[in-house]
Structure formats: C-alpha cells, structure tokens
Amino acid sequence: MNEAISRSDPAAISSAEFFDRAHARLRFDIPEGLTDASLIPVSGDHGTDHMLEIIAREQPIRPAAVLVPVVDHAEPTVLLTQRAAHLNDHAGQISFPGGKIDPTDASPVQTALREAEEEIGLQRQFIDPIGYLDLYGTSFGFRILPTVARVRPGFKLRVNQAEVDDTFEVPLAFLMNPANHQLHSKQFRGVERTFYAMPYEERYIWGATAGILRVLYDRIWKS
C-alpha cells in the first residue's frame, strides 16, 4: 500500500501495515526518565511541560506501565477498559490495562502483561509485544511507559470488577484520524495546559489515554 495514501486516509489502514510499521519503529529500550526525577517527559505543550516540572519537584516518581492492545482483526481495533466507579483515583475513566511497576516485575512490558491478565483476564498467549512508545508523564506523578502489542482474536476476557467495570474496542482507524483528536485545555497554577480528548459513541476518551493514543499516531501513523 502506498504510504502517502494510507496516511491521508485512516480508514485504509490494515492490520498488516500497522504492525509492520510498529515493528520497524518501536524498540524495548527503557528510558532513563522512567525512574530519574531530573529527566522530565516532554509533551510538546508548554503548559503541560511546566506542570510536569513542578510535579517532579513536589512528588516522588511513580513508574507505571500500560498495554496498548491492538487487536488483529481485518479492521484492527484498540482494546480499552472503563475503570470501576468505586475507585479512589480516576474512577469511571477510560484507560489501558496497566498499573504501577512492582519490584518483582522483570521489565515494564512484564508489568503491562501482568496487569492485563489481572485486570481483564487477557492471557499472555494471545499477546505479541512489539515495543515501547515514548514515556508519558501525568499530573499525579506517574511516569507511564506504554507497550504496544498485537493481540490475536479468540481471547476471552474475565473482568476483575474490583478494578474494571467494562471493556470495549474502538476502531484503530477512528483513533488514528486526527479529525477525532480534540484539544481541550485547563489551568494549572496559572498556566494553561492542553490535553487530548477522543469521544467515541458514548465513551469519553481523554487525558493520559487519549494522550498516549496521540503518541501512537505520531510514532506509527503520522511520521
């Protein structure tokens, strides 16, 4: 498929093309900023970068990893979760499977795989990890390292209701279409910062999840 044509038409993306490009562009190199407070993840937005600098001075780093599960259908999808409504942090929000990196985890990708199995019962035998996206910082002090992975269809999920209310899939073509990448803004200590939102049907995808999806677009689709 002609690359220029595929980039201009997100609906034209195929699983084979996406995974070929992901394998060519992603690696498993762990960024030093995952655990080094002096290295601030760069978002490209002045307000967000200012916020991350302040957070790095005031809060300890909280290294985390998430799985970005791209399901290998003829028209690929991204598997997402809706966090349980009773949780103290980010209740009801749309997210990727993932969480804090435990000392016993051999690597961030192992954290992502473990969390996916614990949260939604996605078994490792269906998952082919491809590589890491860029480090993503949040206002809660998390340094998130996303693992992009190919997920083979045929899996059966088992939702852990202590953490997750629901799972659903969104067409990759929708998420890779910049027309669906809304920019919203809010104030942080007198400085305006922007964030992405990608509403899909009745789901409001925003914040870190939408931001990581935008990074996926920049790394695999746009460039």
pLDDT at 186: 86
| Encoded tokens for 30 | 């762990």
pLDDT at 213: 97
pLDDT at 169: 97
pLDDT at 204: 94
Residue 122 above 60 pLDDT? yes
Residue 5 above 60 pLDDT? no
Of 149 and 186, more confident: 149
Q: Does the domain made of 3-222 have the CATH classification 3.30.70.120?
A: no
Window from 152-156, 183-187, 188-192, 218-222 with minimum mean pLDDT: 188-192
What does the domain layout of the chain look like in residue ranges? 3-222
Record the pTM: 0.92
Q: Report DSSP letters for the chain, one per residue.
A: --HHHHHH-GGG--HHHHHHHHHHH-B-PPPGGGT-TTSPPP-S-HHHHHHHHHHHHHS--EEEEEEEEEE-SSS-EEEEEEE-TT-SSSTT-EE-SEEEPPTT-SSHHHHHHHHHHHHH---GGGEEEEEE---EE-TTSEEEEEEEEEE-TT------TTTEEEEEEEEHHHHT-GGG-EEEEEEETTEEEEEEE--BTTB--BHHHHHHHHHHIIIIII-
pLDDT band at 67 (very low <50, low <70, confident <90, very high): very high
